[in-house]
Structure formats: C-alpha cells, structure tokens
C-alpha cells in the first residue's frame, strides 16, 4: 500500500450527489451488506479491525462506504432505528506502517442517520494485494445499537474487536478479540488502475455461505461463491439474506441496490429459489419471479450469473447415504427451474454456475452426494465438503 500525494478536498458522497469523476470499483473482497444483526444495546462504543483481501489489481484514492440500512424478509427495507457515529477510522496494510486516517468532509467523525449512505473523502493511498486492514471506532447513544456483519471476525486474519481506541496505533494491538460479529464499511471503493470486474453475491442463506466453515485453504471465505471468487481474485460484495425468496428479493431489494450503486459492481451472481420452491411456488411462478429479478438487476446495467438450486431432501440417517434420502415437495419444480436456468432465459445472463450438478448424487439428481460421507447437515445447505466441491466446479472466466 503506497501513500500518494494528498488529493484536493472532496466532499463525502451522499446518495444523490455526484461521485468521483473516474469509475469506482470494489477494493478486493469480503465486503458485505448488513442483514439485520445489531450490537447488544449495552455497549456505546467499540473499535473493530477487519481485513479485506485483494488477489489481483490495485486501486487508488480509496473511500469507505457506510450504509445505515439492512435487509429483511419482511415487506420493505430494514431501516435501523438508531444513528451511529464513526468517531474515527483508518486504513493500512502492514502493522509496521502508520495507519492513514479516514476523513469525512475533512473531519474524522461523521454520524450516519438511519437509512443514510455516507462515503468518506478519497484517501491518498494505493491498495494492492494481498489486502489491507480497516479500523473503525463506532459509537451510539446509551441503549442504542449499531449494525453488525453476519460473519465472525477471524483471528487468523488478525481481525478483532475491542473497547480501547487503537485506530491510529501502528503496532499490532493486543486488545482485540476475534470470534465475534464485526463492523466496518459495507464497501471500500477506489479508482482502478486497470479494468476490473466486480461481483455482487445476491440471494439467500447459501449466498453468504451457510453451512460452511472458514478455513485457510479457502482463504477464510464463507461459501462456495465467495471461495471461487476469492480464488480467482475477483472483488466481491456479499448480499445474501437468510430465508430470502426470489419474491422478496424483487419486492425488497432497496438496501442491496443502494450498496451496489455505490460499489462499482459489474456482475451479479444470483443464488436464490430454494425458499420459493420450499414455499410451494410452481414452475410458472418461479419463472415469473426469476425473470423479474433478472430484469431488476439488468436494469442497473449488470451482467448476471444465476446459480442452479441444489437438492432439497430429508434423510433417515443424517444424509450419510443416497438411499436414506427422500426429495422434498416441489422437487419436480426444482429440476425444471434448473433446466430453465441452464438455457439462459434472459439476455443479461453471461454464464450459469451449475452447482446443483456438482453436488447431486451421480445416480439421482434429486439427492445430495454422499461419497466420503454426508455433503449436507440439513438437506438444504451444503456442508464444508460440499462448499469445497462446488467452489472447485465454478469457472469464473465469463466474468470479464
């Protein structure tokens, strides 16, 4: 991470105001849209340190994006009730270098009101592989809460949370604790040095990696989609929502849309449909809902990569064998939807990631694979074995 000459003062971008004159893109991966998690209501201030991976490319003039809004499966976007204040933030790549202070209209602190989007001033930095750290000190009034990520901070990546103000500390802090849900910018964007595709992972629980375990071999990413994108060096933003349906995605995508518009996203990977099938949607309904979702995403000028729906089964023996599994209601619809997706039914689709084919039993496409043991723990979500296999089967070369 090289420090550049300071840019001229630039007001922080508030939604609806002009953005940087050059196109902005995501700086690396592991960015995240808030779901519905919040702090405990007892704390009033905390410091977080998060790591953002970069595997290829570089950006200059990075900026931090904060969106005080979440996602919900209920009607309408989740408007968090409380404002939060960024007391201070910093960015750095090495623990032996001084963190670079983040400012908002020249000030260290900014308050983000419920539903508001705030973007920092450009930083005089160049961010490059393998990645960089962001420290954020957040505060709320007594009894109030700030939003948190859906994935725990990783000690292996030197992430953590603490009460002390270490935002501007150069040595590695010893007061931060991992294994808790994190907080920080929803995205870090910057001006790319070369053309860089950026991906939004959209959909339900599998889109944020439910059932997976972060591990070194997978770059501590959660889920086969994040594993594959990180493996191939593609910047990505995670926008999955547990329990989401395609119908809800269409009716309630305000938060995801707002974050994507601020993040230079060029492609959307849409993993969704299992909850619609489980809810009894027929084939015609599924096609209509998915077409509406494709239209929405394409309306932002994005290219689309749908993901096929993996098996949905019950089991008499913990999914240890194919013989012990029984497909759930709606199986014929799931199979027909997958065939329809493989035919690329929308003009914005540039590829289809057929994870269903990668995870289904060779003898029966309606069942989970069981070679070497169970590939799911609940008949709906992949387990770590299946996440590894699905990631290995994904070819990202169409994302250009």
Decide which of 177 and 12 is more confident.
177
Averaged pLDDT for residues 154-172 = 91
Q: What is the pLDDT of residue 295?
A: 96
Judged against a pLDDT cut of 50, whether residue 17 lies above it is answered with: no
- Rounded CA-CA distance 74/272 in Å is 17
CB 9 within 8 A of CB 106: yes
Prediction pTM value? 0.84
CA 339 to centroid of chain Cα atoms: 27
At 235-265, the pLDDT tens digits run 999 888 888 999 989 988 888 888 888 888 9
Judged against a pLDDT cut of 80, whether residue 213 lies above it is answered with: yes
Averaged pLDDT for residues 112-137 = 93
Please state, in angstroms and as integers, the Cα–Cα distance from residue 367 to each residue in 202, 310, 336, 353, 355, following that order.
25, 9, 15, 18, 13
Judged against a pLDDT cut of 90, whether residue 97 lies above it is answered with: no
How many residues comprise the chain?
Answer: 400
- List the Cα angle 90/196/250 in 5-degree steps: 90
Judged against a pLDDT cut of 60, whether residue 388 lies above it is answered with: yes
Q: What is the pLDDT of residue 187?
A: 93
Q: What is the pLDDT of residue 21?
A: 39
At 334-359, the pLDDT tens digits run 999 999 999 999 999 999 999 999 99
Q: What is the pLDDT of residue 179?
A: 93
- Rounded CA-CA distance 22/56 in Å is 20
Q: What is the pLDDT of residue 14?
A: 42
288 Rama sector, left if φ>0, alpha if ψ -120 to 50, beta otherwise = alpha
- pLDDT band for position 23 (cuts 50, 70, 90): low
- Rounded CA-CA distance 135/97 in Å is 14
Q: What is the pLDDT of residue 220?
A: 79
Rg of the chain over all Cα atoms, to the nearest angstrom: 21
Judged against a pLDDT cut of 60, whether residue 22 lies above it is answered with: no
- pLDDT band for position 6 (cuts 50, 70, 90): very low
CB 127 within 8 A of CB 93: yes
Q: Are strands 31-32 and 267-271 parallel, antiparallel or unpaired?
A: unpaired
Decide which of 378 and 72 is more confident.
378
SS3 content of the chain, % helix, strand, coil (to 5): 20, 25, 50
Decide which of 34 and 195 is more confident.
34
At 31-68, the pLDDT tens digits run 898 988 999 999 999 999 999 988 888 999 999 999 99
Judged against a pLDDT cut of 80, whether residue 376 lies above it is answered with: yes
Decide which of 252 and 313 is more confident.
313
Listed residue (12, 32, 221) closest to 120, CA to CA: 12
DSSP for 208-254 reads: GTTT----GGGTT--SHHHHHHHHTT--EEEEE-TT--HHHHHHS-H
Listed residue (298, 243, 291) closest to 266, CA to CA: 298
Q: What is the pLDDT of residue 93?
A: 84
Give the H/E segment covering residue 365: strand 364-368
pLDDT above 90 covers a percentage of the chain that reads: 70
- Rounded CA-CA distance 293/285 in Å is 12
Q: Ranked by mean pLDDT, which of 2-11, 61-70, 195-204, 283-292 comes out on top?
A: 283-292
- pLDDT band for position 78 (cuts 50, 70, 90): confident
- pLDDT band for position 72 (cuts 50, 70, 90): confident
Q: What is the pLDDT of residue 151?
A: 86
Q: What is the pLDDT of residue 77?
A: 62
Judged against a pLDDT cut of 70, whether residue 217 lies above it is answered with: yes
Q: Where are the alpha helices (DSSP H) in 299-375?
A: 331-342, 355-359
CB 194 within 8 A of CB 57: yes
Listed residue (156, 269, 158, 160) closest to 217, CA to CA: 156
Judged against a pLDDT cut of 90, whether residue 80 lies above it is answered with: no
- List the Cα angle 210/377/29 in 5-degree steps: 20
Q: Structural domains in the chain?
A: 197-393 (3.40.50.1110)
Q: Where are the alpha helices (DSSP H) in the chain?
A: 224-231, 246-251, 254-262, 274-278, 283-298, 331-342, 355-359, 384-393
Averaged pLDDT for residues 152-179 = 90
């Amino acid at each position: 991470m090289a420090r550049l000459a300071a840019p001229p003062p630039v007001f922080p971008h508030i939604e609806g105001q002009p953005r940087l004159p050059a196109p902005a893109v995501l700086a690396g991966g592991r960015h995240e849209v808030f779901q519905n998690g919040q702090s405990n209501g007892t704390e009033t201030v905390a410091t977080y340190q998060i790591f953002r991976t970069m595997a290829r490319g570089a950006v200059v003039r990075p900026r931090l994006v904060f969106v005080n809004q979440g996602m919900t499966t209920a009607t309408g976007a989740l408007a968090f009730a409380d404002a939060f204040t960024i007391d201070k933030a910093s960015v750095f790549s090495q623990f032996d270098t001084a963190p670079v202070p983040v400012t908002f209209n020249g000030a260290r602190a900014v308050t983000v009101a419920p539903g508001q989007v705030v973007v920092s001033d450009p930083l005089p930095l160049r961010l490059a592989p393998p990645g960089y750290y962001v420290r954020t000190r957040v505060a709320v009034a007594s009894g109030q809460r700030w939003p948190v990520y859906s994935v725990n901070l990783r000690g292996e990546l030197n992430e953590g949370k603490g009460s002390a103000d270490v935002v501007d500390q150069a040595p590695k802090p010893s007061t931060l604790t991992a294994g808790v849900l994190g907080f920080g910018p929803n995205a870090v964007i910057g001006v790319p040095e070369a053309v860089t595709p950026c991906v939004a992972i959209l959909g339900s629980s599998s889109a944020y990696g439910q059932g997976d375990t972060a591990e070194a071999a997978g770059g501590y990413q959660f889920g086969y989609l994040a594993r594959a994108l990180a493996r191939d060096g593609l910047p990505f933003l995670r926008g999955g929502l547990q329990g989401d349906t395609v119908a809800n995605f269409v009716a309630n995508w305000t938060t995801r849309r707002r974050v994507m518009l601020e993040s230079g996203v060029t492609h959307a990977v849409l993993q969704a449909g299992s909850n619609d099938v489980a809810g009894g949607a027929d084939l015609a309904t599924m096609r209509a809902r998915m077409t509406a979702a494709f239209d929405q995403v394409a309306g932002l000028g994005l290219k689309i990569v749908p993901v096929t729906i993996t098996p949905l089964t019950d089991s008499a023996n913990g999914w240890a064998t194919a013989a012990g599994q029984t497909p759930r209601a709606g199986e014929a619809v799931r199979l027909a939807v997958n065939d329809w997706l493989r035919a690329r039914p929308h003009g914005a689709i540039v590829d289809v990631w057929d994870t269903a084919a990668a995870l289904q039993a060779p003898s029966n496409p309606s069942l989970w694979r069981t070679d070497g043991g169970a590939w799911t723990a609940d008949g709906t979500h992949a387990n770590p074995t299946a996440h590894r296999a699905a990631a290995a089967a994904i070819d990202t070369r169409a994302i250009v």
